[in-house]
Amino acid sequence: MANNKAAKPKAARKKSAKGGSGGKLSRASAVVTLVLLTLFVVFFVGRQLFLKPSAPASVEQSAKPQPSKAKVEKPSAKKSKKKSSAKTKKAAASAKKQAQKPRSKAASAVALANLVPERDLRPQFDYDFTAQVIEHEGYVVSYNADYKVPNWVIYELTLGETLGNLKRTNNFDVDPEVPEAQMAQLTDYRNSGYDRGHMAPNADMNWSQTAQDESFYLSNMCPQGHDFNAGIWLDLENQVRVWAERDSAVTIVCGPVLPRSSADAKRMKRIGKGKVLVPELFWKVVLMPYGGDVRAIGFVMPNHNEKVGRKNRPLTDYAVSVDSVERLTGIDFFPALPDNIEDVIESNYNIKSWF
């Protein structure tokens, strides 16, 4: 019996011990579970708080551009489009302008630069004239600020340009390239009894609106008697146009005969408050560089302010050699030409080859 009684407590202790160990494990499991649950909650809550907003944003960024970026890029695209449109319009306008011109401006400028007359300081001239050389769309002018008229005007007239048909504007104006104090004014010509006579004629510039407008600059004008301007001078302008049509192109240099001395300058008539010189003679030199043999001819005409019976005075009566014009004006024409050609064409002219 004792053994049996003794066994019971031992068995009970074993059972109790077994039961105690199970309790410890149960509590440990509970603690572990609680910790894991806490970590899970923390992880889950943290994910909700920190990770969830950024993840969709990342997805949105990869799926499509952000609105903020679109706002920045859109105006830039508009600006780019506007710039592109402006360039296109500018190019189109430039192309249209070039299409209206029968020859390139660059080619004309080069041709004129090689043929611009130079002042030849000969002993009989005791002075030199002032000069401001200005290149316009259709002509080049050497402007004299002392006399407020051109020293000379040079331009090329081609067959294509003779086909121009723009209407005459009569918008006479000052040349914006000349300082105002040195420029003749419209009031100088008003009630003076003299026309504003073109050197480069408007009718030779009606192939371009710009060229035509610039032909009315007062830097291209000289005081001319009306009957001279509308008479023999006009006849010569029309004849030059015929030569351009016949020989494809001609180069024209023209201008007034300026004073040969200070005494001449004091004697010659002036008009207006600006004291614009009234030339007594005008000259014109025409060069045919393309049609067959190179040739040139000159003309010298008196600036009459009365009728001179131009129908009875053919242009041939005013024709002279280029050398004669050089001696009268002190200008060396076409210095860029080879001397052997220049000497021949300037010393001789064959009327039959012209008229």
Residues with a known catalytic role: 198
Q: Which two tokens stand for residue 244?
A: 């351009």
Strand partners, 195: 224
Burial zone of 58 (CB within 10 Å; 0-12 exposed, 13-18 middle, 19+ buried): exposed
Residues with Cβ within 8 Å of 78's Cβ and at least 6 positions away in sequence, in order, are none
Q: Long-range contact list for 167-174, CB < 8 A, 24+ apart? A: 167/206, 168/202, 168/203, 168/206, 168/212, 169/212, 169/213, 169/216, 170/216, 171/213, 171/216, 172/196, 172/216, 172/218, 172/221, 173/216, 173/217, 173/218, 174/217, 174/218, 174/219
Q: CB–CB of 279/259 below 8 Å?
A: no
* Tokens representing residue 127 in the block: 């002075």
- Report the amino acid identity of residue 263: A
3-class SS of residue 104: coil
Contact 137, 206 (CB under 8 A): no
Give the CB-side neighbour count of residue 201, counting CA atoms within 13 A: 19
The torsion angles phi and psi of 332, rounded to 5 degrees, stand at: -95, 110
Q: How far is CA 200 from CA 26, 154, 272, 279, in A?
A: 119, 8, 23, 16
Concatenating the DSSP letter of every residue in 46-101 gives: HIIIIIHHHHHHHHHHHHS--HHHHHHHHHHHHHHHHHHHHHHHHHHHHHHHHHH-
Backbone dihedral angles phi then psi of residue 81, each to the nearest 5 degrees: -65, -40
Q: Which two tokens stand for residue 49?
A: 């708080």
